[in-house]
Structures are given as C-alpha cells and as structure tokens.
Structure 1
Amino acid sequence: MNLRFLALAALLSSSAHAQLFQTVQTTTSQAVLKGFAVQGKTLQKGSTKLTLDEAGGYVYGVQIEAKTPEDLARAMAGAWGMPESGIAKLASALASPRLMAEARAGFQDFSDESKSDLFALNLSGTGAAQVWKAYLAVQIWPDSAFPATNNVWGDPKAPTVLRVFSDFQCPYCQQMAEETLPTWKKNSAQYRLIHYHFPLPFHKNAFPAAEAGECAARQGKFWPYADQLFAGLVSWKALTGAALNTKFEDYAKKVGLNAAQFKTCLSQHATKAVVDAQMKAGTDVGVPGTPTVYLNGIRLSDYTDPSELKAVQAITQAIPSAQSVIQTRLNALR
C-alpha cells in the first residue's frame, strides 16, 4: 500500500464505487452535504463547489474546489458516500505535510487496491489564497488494458462488452457459467462475452485447467471445453499428475478435438504464456478475485444486479463519452 493509501486510509472503508453510481438526486441529498445549495448538477456552500458528471441520470465523476482540508474532506465524503464520522479523519489525512506536498505537485491515484475508482488532487496558493482542486471518478479501462484473445462470444458490434476473469476451479465461476453465461450467450446481439484466465494460487489445478482450455482454444473449441471443465469440476479438482491430464484429455475427445494435438499442447505447456499474460493483465486492472466482470471497461460490484448493469450501460454509452469527460477533467488538474 503506497503513501496515498496510507494517508487516505479513511477512504478505504467507504463504498466509493457504489456511491458514484447513484442518481444525481441521491448524491445531492446526502446528510454530509446538508446546507449546500443545489442548482442542477452543481452544489455550493461558501467557497466549496461540487460539479457532478452524469450520464443517464447516474453520477460517474465529481469535480471539487475548496479552500481548506476540512471543506475538501466534506466534499469528498459526499462524492464517495462516506458518513459524517469519517470526515475528521479524512481532513486530518489531507492536511498532513507529506500529502500536501504531493498535492502541490499534483497527483492521480486509485481509491483502493481494486482500482475501480480514481481520484486526483491539486493544491495551489498559500494562506487565504490556497485552493484545493480534486476530481473523483469511476475507472473506465480502455480496450488496450486487456490482452487479445479468441475466446469471444457474441456480435463484434454488440453495445455491451463483458470481460470475465475466471478460474475453472472456482465454485462461484462454475455458478456463473451455469446460471448467468447462458443468458448472455443467448443475447449475443446485445452482449459480447470475452473470457480471461485468472487461476487463483490456492486452487492447485486451476492453472493446468486454464492451459487445457487454451489448448482447446487452439482448435477453436474453447467454449464447449470450458463447459466440460465446469460441469466436471468435482471429478478433477483433486486429481494429480497423469490422472489429471487423462481427465483433461477425455474432455478433449468429448468435444471433438484432435486428441494427439491436444495431448502434445498440454504436455508441453504450450499455452502457459497465454495464461500468464492474462493473469498479469488481471492484476494490472485490479482483479480482486474470481469471477470478476468488467462491463465496457467498468468493474461490476455485482454482475447479477440489473440496476448496476443499467447504470454502467448508461455511463459507458453516453455521448460525449464518460471516458473523454473524465480524461479532460484529469488533464485540467495536471
């Protein structure tokens, strides 16, 4: 955890991601913002001003200007949905000499280690002329943050792109594969589904299963092979050595793969680099566990929640794009 996380530890217990997906009315009516005059998407109290960036009625970013750490802390609390009890601690963190020095240089960071939200701070002037500027927003990852893969289902022009980081030995991933993925696959004109491997270290057979999945992908059969792995999880998760490979080879035969090619691929670990690259990409974008789903570049807190999917779709399909608005705001603080 870096200096900024340590200094702003008060933020880490708040639900920043959830608050940024609230409606304008919900955001402006918070108790911590009582006394602020509201005019459209602008809130002001004295010299403290908040400007809400929204799309489809959902807030995805908050621009702040304030004179003191105390005023900035209250505004940030409103942006992140923090309770009144956390404001004093946050103000103290903001007023620390080390963080103020960083703010004078200007910086941008993530609000927590899952990298689902970001914030930028800038401090200028001294004394009565001191001005804090901040921007807090949801993180929208560009396509370039994710590695290329052929494990894709759905129309290339589908408006909703779901990137799933999964582990074949994860029971929650198995549940998703059996209960949720079929619905997304049936709506292939609406949803484009992309699979990435993120085998967890405490699942001893997850990495070889991912390699096997990629060996199947080399023959264009990733999805049916993945179905076999999830359906047979109980029968292979405790196997070792040759017995595990034999089970994977049996699945290859069931889905019509060239058995010899599959066996060679598996025994030579020919797809290890692919799995490694996808795991690194997952770590880089803050994947906290499996399954983790990104909808149009935004990490979902709950992929089964229709209201969250609706909010993310509204934000990511906005014109002008939320991504471009966020970038413009951040550039202004540099």
Structure 2
Amino acid sequence: MRDVFLSNCEKTFLNRIVSEGHRLDGRIYNESRPLNISFGSEYGSCIVSLGETKVLAQVSCEVTQPKQIRPNEGILYINAEISPMAAPQFEVNRQTDLSVYLNRLLEKCYKDSKCIDLESLCIVVEEKVWSLRVDIKVLNHDGNLIECASIATLTSLAHFKRPDVTRSGDSVVIHTMAEKDPIPTVLFHYPICSTFAIFNSDILLSDPNFLEESVCTSSTEEGVSTGGGLLVVGMNQYKELCLLDLTGAAIYSSNIVHKAITGAAAKCKEIVDMVKKAIVSDDTLRQKRVKINFSDVITQDHLLSLSKKDLNIKLKHYNTDEKMVDDDEDAMTIDSDPEPSKYDVVSSNPQTAETLSRKGASQWIEISSDSEED
C-alpha cells in the first residue's frame, strides 16, 4: 500500500518510542491532529486539513437517466485522485493501490451505508434523476488520508445545494439560483472514517501520521508479521457502525477492536458537530453577502512554512560532577546555529583527566583510563 522505503533505523526507532509511550510529534495515543475546514465560493466545495494532510472536495450534479434496477433513485459517484502534488511517490494519471483502496472505502462508507436520500434526487421516474459526483483531490499526504478524505466528502455533500426543478408537462425546467433558492442534500446520518495504527498487536494510535502508517504496514508487506496494521472504523453520530476494515496483521485480541470502536464513536460525534457548525457559519456569511473563497486559507504562515523551525533539539550533557545538566543557553536548533558549538571531552578518572576541545561534538564524552592503556 506504500511505495516508500524506510530504513531499519527508522523502523526500530519508531517502534521503540511507541512502545515507551511516546510519539514523534508529542501527541498521546488517542490524540488527533488539529482539524480545519474551509469552504470555496461554490456550494459543495471545501478544503479539509488534518494536520499537514490536506484534501480538496468538490460536488457537482447533472441530470441523467436512472439505473434500470433503481428507476426512482438518483446516482452518487465518488472519485478520488492522488497526484504528485500530494507526495513524490505518486505519478500522473496512474492509479495506485492507495487510490483504489481509498475509493473503495469511501464508496462503502457513503453509498452502501445509505446515508444519502437518493429518492429525493428523482425528477421523473424512469426518465430523469440527479447524478451527484464527488471529486476528491489530495493536496498533501502526511498520513491518515482516509479520515481526512471522509471528512471532506461528508462536508462537501452536506454543504452542497442543487438547483430547483419545475416540471411543466413533458419538459423540465432547471432554475438558476437567482430565480429560486437551491435545495440542500438530504442526509439521513453523518458517517466518518477513523483510522487507527496498531503496533505490537496491543498498542493503538489514533490519527497516525505518514511515518507511523508506513512503519506499521511495512512489516506486513515484507512478510514479517509483527502485529502491526491499520484499522479503519466508519461510524456515524448515532454510534452505528458503518464500516470496519483491517489492513495488515491479524488482530489477536477483541479488546483492540472494542477500544477502536469506542474511540471512533467519541471522535465521530465531535467531528460531526464541527462540520455542522462550520456549515451554519458559512450560510450565515453567505446571507450577509460576504465574499467567500479559498484565498482566506492562504496566509503568511503557509507561504513561509518551509522557513519555520519545526523541530527543536535540546541537548543534555554531564558536567564534571557527573550530574545531568539541562543547558538552555547551549540548546541547539536545526538551521539556527551556523557553526557547531565547542564541547569538552573529559576523563572519568580525575587523576588522568585531560581536557580536549573539538568542533562538532554534540555531547559530553567520557574517556576512561582503560582506553588510554589500550
């Protein structure tokens, strides 16, 4: 599922810190990244950001003939595309396993769960119905793409409004927004897909980033089962299970599934409330004739994001009294110190101690008297 090659050092380091109760970005196990929802100028257009993962969703509609087996129901079509803009391992106009997997899960979550009232999309039975198309564009892939895409799909469908239609005889007249108010999409429930990363068969991480996803699935792809994998739980605000998908090793304990479903239920209710509040706020701004577009999303922080100091490294060293010292003045930050600092190399034996100085040392180094004899 991933076309990324990770070194053994990266895998070992991440597995070790996760087993010790830590994560690379400082979050706890059940903590998610910040969620942000922005709307475009048209109905059904939105950008959803989950941390650094960003997805654009756009809903469009057209009048088509219904299916023969469903003559009084409309049609819902979901199309997800991942371009090289999202990550360098993807190619233009080439479907990958991840894009097929993403399409399949979204169709299961939103089409098979019957969350949309397709009968309300019927214009003339067996002749004309509305066909809704949801286009998903991945702008940046930093992990948990399924959850971010599901939130974007739900938000765009709930925000979309189709034109009103009047039937006079055998003809059908589609009115513009200036003539008649558009009609919102009827949703029976609001399902959300939540992703959990499984480490060592008993550790569950909510909202995994790209590196965590790659590590927990790479062992399975290489044929080495370490109890890692991805568990996707689709659930609505009524705590009804809509989707359950497991990628990777088998689950040996039912407690993992129960814990994931409990966490997904709480997360889904919180996300659905946020989506509803965002749509109500957007409708209020549109009624006040406020101009809404994606230009509000682009700020100075986005333009200068690459020049920010994302990672700070604080060094801890030992002084001559062999006590741990936290030196704030000598704390080093990446891309902030043009020249390396000078650190002393001292001996653990006071009688044979000699102080050396060299550039580029990153910590105190203790040289024992045995090494001098050798």
- TM-score bin, normalised by smaller chain: under 0.3
Could you tell me the TM-score, scaled by structure 2's length?
0.22
| Rg comparison, structure with higher value | 2
More helix by share: 1
Q: Could you tell me the TM-score, scaled by structure 1's length?
A: 0.24
